[in-house]
């Protein structure tokens, strides 16, 4: 009798213990999920030109979807898929999101971000864990999209009734050592109104009743039948339901439309200092020579320096965009001697960026010189930026005679700079450009 | 056995064959198939003739094998993969790390 009673007591005790443990675990997961969601699903995902769907397979979605504006008004978008699900996958997502947001905000490009993400994941993840990722920079101003795809299924660029697959060309992030990692991106023309659609493998690996996979062909049938791009995600979702599939992986889809930014609407970074220590009378000149141009992007550093000048902060986005254009013009057309007329049509774009890569790799001589001058003017002040290059120059009179912003893919740089900064001027030999930004008394 | 391993008579080649789904469920068996050889034979063959499916954790297992076999110095050949399996290896560009045919 007593044995029976003891058995009963033990069973009850263990039941309570299990309940307690389970509550504890669930609560832990709830808290972790709240933190994760804030890290992994923030940024500008709710922007009007971005649509997305994420269905969590486990409590934590193993797919990571991030979007953020660059200081010059482009959009960076990352869709990533860690090996595994749940907590292990979510842990890797945290540092990735940190790198994505902080480097995007500072004005770094895809190449620098990819190098940093890969190195970080390689360092912290176990050997058998990695992260498939597709990273985009959508620029309505420059009318193009820059893509890197490592291990994600084909994404699709829909441009003027034409569909181009954005195929994986790289190993996933976190596999290769920094020395052999390839951050090479593809640049394709993408006009305002064009779309890119990205998806995770959960979509094509959705398994039907007879163990058949949904597959790429069925997906492309949905893409073919689509008439209104904004309905696309709902149509794919419907097709998956009709297929009576059960997803065995996380399912994520995102559709981004290229849209001109409201540059002035982009909020300037909030600074933590009192606003009193601002450098107001100085000048500096930098000369970036061949070996530096090959592998270093000086813009984030220059812009960080300029943003120490409080009067310039409100114009940060415009300064970013203008300096970015002037620098890439000086490098690509000046130092590398690339002809922007190449950039007509998809193939021309690919050839242009192929040549850019080859010439940069072979570069022996040449420089881009950036001179900055900040001075007080009454209660306010002004910044004068001069960008020079060692190239052949161009026919300034002819280029200036062209009308602004006609709908073409090539020669965007000069036109964009003139729109953003009407006082921009070019030296007669076409080897230097000067722009000026001034500000009035600060409140 | 879903994972079998066999060393060539001269000890220079280890062949690991996988049967059925190559996924996380085979984690331990796959490890056991090569971890007993340390250092491993110069050449490792992963035979996927009878493998029906391969998921991302299987890719992770291949990376572990590669590490064990000497990383960049390793000589690992993935053979007899079905078109579906080869597609998965292709999307991840694993042909940059492994000899796949």
Distance from CA of A130 to the nearest CA of B (A): 7
Considering only the beta carbons, identify the residue of B64, B67, B91 that sits closest to A168.
B91
Least confident of A328-337, A353-362, A379-388, A392-401: A392-401
Shared domain check, A272 and A191: no
Distance from CA of A77 to the nearest CA of B (A): 20
Residue A276 pLDDT level (bands cut at 50, 70, 90): low
* Chain-chain contact of A168 with B64 (C-beta, under 8 angstroms): no
Residue A264 pLDDT level (bands cut at 50, 70, 90): very low
- Reply yes or no on whether the pLDDT at A39 is more than 80: no
Shared domain check, A178 and A236: yes
The chain B residue lying nearest A177, using CA atoms, is B72
Considering only the beta carbons, identify the residue of A128, A168, A201 that sits closest to B93.
A168
Report the percent of chain A where pLDDT is more than 90.
51
Burial A226-241 (b: 16+ CB within 10 A, else e): beebeebbeebbebbe
How many domains are there within chain A? 2
- Reply yes or no on whether the pLDDT at A103 is more than 50: yes
Distance from CA of A257 to the nearest CA of B (A): 25
Angle subtended at Cα A38 by Cα A36 and Cα A41, rounded to the nearest 5 degrees: 90
DSSP letters along A83-140, please?
Answer: SS-HHHHHHHHHHHHHHHHHHHHTT--HHHHHHHHHHHHHHHS-TT--EEEEEEEEET
Q: Mean of the per-residue pLDDT values for chain A?
A: 87
* Residue B65 burial class via C-beta count within 10 angstroms: exposed 0-12, middle 13-18, buried 19 and up: buried
Q: What is the CATH number of the domain that holds A400?
A: 3.30.565.10
Average pLDDT (A57-61) is: 63
How many domains are there within chain B? 1
**Ranked by mean pLDDT, which of A24-28, A29-33, A131-135, B55-59 comes out on top?**
A131-135
Residue of A128, A134, A148, A198 for testing the chain B interface, max B β-carbons within 10 Å: A128
Distance from CA of B6 to the nearest CA of A (A): 23
Q: Which residues pair with A164 in a beta bridge?
A: A157
Determine the pLDDT at residue A266. 45
Whether residue A359 is contained in a domain is answered as yes
Whether residue A275 is contained in a domain is answered as yes
Check if B83 contacts A (Cβ < 8 Å). Answer: no
* Chain-chain contact of B60 with A128 (C-beta, under 8 angstroms): yes
Shared domain check, A388 and A322: yes
Considering only the beta carbons, identify the residue of A84, A150, A151 that sits closest to B57.
A84
Whether residue A190 is contained in a domain is answered as yes
Whether residue A10 is contained in a domain is answered as no
- A250 contacts in B (CB within 8 Å)? none
Shared domain check, A273 and A240: no
Determine the pLDDT at residue A412. 57
Give the residue from A257, A288, A311 where a domain finishes.
A257
Q: What is the CATH number of the domain that holds B36?
A: 3.30.750.24
How far apart, in whole angstroms, are the C-alpha atoms of residue A206 and residue A171?
23
Whether residue A144 is contained in a domain is answered as yes
Check if A150 contacts B (Cβ < 8 Å). Answer: yes
Average pLDDT (A389-416) is: 73
Greater confidence (A336 vs A250) lies with A336
Distance from CA of B58 to the nearest CA of A (A): 9
Residue A273 pLDDT level (bands cut at 50, 70, 90): low
Bond before A426 cis per omega within 30 degrees: no
Could you identify the residue written with the tokens 């441009």?
A159
Shared domain check, A251 and A279: no
* Chain-chain contact of B56 with A84 (C-beta, under 8 angstroms): yes
Check if B35 contacts A (Cβ < 8 Å). Answer: no
Shared domain check, A253 and A268: no
Report the percent of chain A where pLDDT is more than 70.
90
Give the residue from A225, A257, A289 where a domain finishes.
A257
Whether residue A237 is contained in a domain is answered as yes
Determine the pLDDT at residue A272. 53
- Reply yes or no on whether the pLDDT at A329 is more than 60: yes
* Chain-chain contact of A127 with B61 (C-beta, under 8 angstroms): no
Check if A83 contacts B (Cβ < 8 Å). Answer: yes
Determine the pLDDT at residue A255. 96
Shared domain check, A175 and A32: yes
Determine the pLDDT at residue A242. 87
State pLDDT tens for residues A168-181: 999 999 999 999 99
Tell me the residue range of the domain where B63 lies: 3-100
Return the DSSP state at A269.
P
Shared domain check, A371 and A305: yes
Tell me the residue range of the domain where A215 lies: 25-257
- A152 contacts in B (CB within 8 Å)? 91
**Residue A400 CB partners (closer than 8 Å, separation 6+):** A426
Give the residue from A214, A234, A257 where a domain finishes.
A257
- B91 contacts in A (CB within 8 Å)? 151-153, 168, 201
Whether residue A1 is contained in a domain is answered as no
Check if B28 contacts A (Cβ < 8 Å). Answer: no
Shared domain check, A315 and A199: no
Check if B61 contacts A (Cβ < 8 Å). Answer: yes
The chain A residue lying nearest B57, using CA atoms, is A83
The chain A residue lying nearest B24, using CA atoms, is A84
Whether residue A15 is contained in a domain is answered as no
Residue of A58, A175, A199 for testing the chain B interface, max B β-carbons within 10 Å: A175
Check if B7 contacts A (Cβ < 8 Å). Answer: no
What values do phi and psi take at A163, rounded to 5?
-115, 130
Distance from CA of B84 to the nearest CA of A (A): 11
Shared domain check, A86 and A164: yes
Shared domain check, A72 and A123: yes
Tell me what percent of chain B is helix, strand and coil, each rounded to the nearest 5: 40, 35, 25
Average pLDDT (A47-68) is: 81
Q: What is the CATH number of the domain that holds A88?
A: 3.60.40.10
Considering only the beta carbons, identify the residue of B61, B64, B93 that sits closest to A151.
B93
Element at B101 (helix H, strand E): none
- Number of A/B CB contacts below 8 angstroms equals 42
- A129 contacts in B (CB within 8 Å)? 60
State pLDDT tens for residues A120-159: 999 999 999 999 999 999 999 888 999 999 999 999 999 8
Secondary structure tally for chain A: helices H, strands E: 13, 15
Determine the pLDDT at residue A142. 85
Distance from CA of A177 to the nearest CA of B (A): 10
Distance from CA of B91 to the nearest CA of A (A): 5
Determine the pLDDT at residue A274. 52
């Amino acid at each position: 009798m007593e044995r029976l009673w003891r058995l009963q007591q033990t069973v009850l005790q263990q039941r309570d213990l299990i309940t307690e443990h389970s509550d504890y675990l669930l609560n832990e997961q709830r808290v972790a999920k709240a933190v994760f969601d804030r890290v992994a699903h923030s940024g500008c995902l709710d922007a009007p030109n971005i649509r997305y769907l994420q269905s969590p397979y486990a409590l934590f979605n193993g797919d990571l979807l991030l979007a953020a504006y660059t200081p010059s008004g482009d959009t960076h978008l990352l869709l990533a898929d860690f090996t595994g699900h749940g907590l292990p996958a979510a842990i890797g997502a945290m540092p990735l999101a940190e790198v994505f947001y902080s480097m995007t905000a500072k004005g770094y490009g895809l190449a620098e971000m990819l190098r940093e993400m890969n190195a970080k994941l390689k360092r912290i993840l176990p050997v058998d864990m990695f992260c498939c990722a597709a990273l985009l920079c959508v620029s309505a101003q420059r009318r193009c999209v820059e893509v890197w795809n490592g291990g994600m299924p084909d994404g699709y660029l829909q441009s003027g009734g034409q569909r181009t697959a954005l195929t994986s060309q790289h190993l996933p992030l976190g596999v290769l050592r920094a020395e052999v990692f390839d951050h090479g991106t593809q640049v394709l023309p993408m006009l305002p109104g064009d779309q890119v659609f990205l998806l995770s493998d959960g979509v094509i690996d959705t398994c039907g009743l007879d163990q058949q996979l949904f597959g790429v062909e069925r997906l492309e049938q949905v893409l073919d039948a689509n008439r209104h791009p904004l309905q696309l995600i709902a149509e794919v979702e419907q097709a998956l339901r009709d297929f009576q599939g059960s997803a065995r992986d996380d399912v994520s889809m995102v559709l981004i439309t290229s849209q001109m930014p409201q540059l002035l609407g982009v909020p300037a970074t909030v600074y933590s200092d009192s606003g009193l220590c601002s450098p107001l009378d100085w000048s500096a000149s930098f000369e970036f020579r061949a070996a530096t141009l090959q592998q270093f992007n000086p813009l984030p550093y220059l812009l960080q320096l300029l943003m120490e000048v409080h009067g310039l902060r409100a114009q940060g986005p415009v300064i970013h965009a203008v300096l970015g254009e002037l620098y890439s013009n000086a490098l690509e057309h000046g130092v590398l001697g690339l002809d922007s007329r190449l950039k007509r049509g998809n193939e021309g774009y690919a050839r242009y960026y192929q040549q850019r890569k080859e010439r940069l790799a072979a570069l022996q001589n040449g420089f881009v010189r950036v001179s900055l001058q900040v001075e007080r003017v009454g209660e306010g002040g002004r910044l004068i930026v001069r960008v020079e290059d060692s190239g052949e120059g161009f026919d300034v009179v002819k280029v200036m005679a062209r009308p602004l912003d006609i709908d073409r893919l090539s020669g965007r740089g000069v036109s964009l700079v003139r729109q953003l900064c009407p006082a921009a001027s070019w030296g007669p030999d076409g080897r230097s450009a000067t722009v000026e930004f001034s500000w009035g008394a600060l409140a | 056995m879903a994972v079998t391993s066999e060393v060539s008579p001269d000890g220079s080649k280890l062949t690991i064959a996988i049967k059925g789904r190559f996924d996380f469920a085979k984690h331990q068996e796959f490890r056991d198939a090569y971890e007993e050889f340390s250092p491993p034979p110069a050449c490792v063959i992963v035979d996927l003739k009878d493998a029906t499916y391969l998921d991302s954790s299987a890719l992770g297992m291949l990376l572990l094998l590669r590490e064990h076999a000497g990383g960049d110095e390793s000589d690992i050949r993935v053979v007899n993969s079905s078109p579906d399996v080869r597609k998965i290896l292709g999307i991840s560009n694993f042909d940059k790390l492994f000899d796949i045919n």
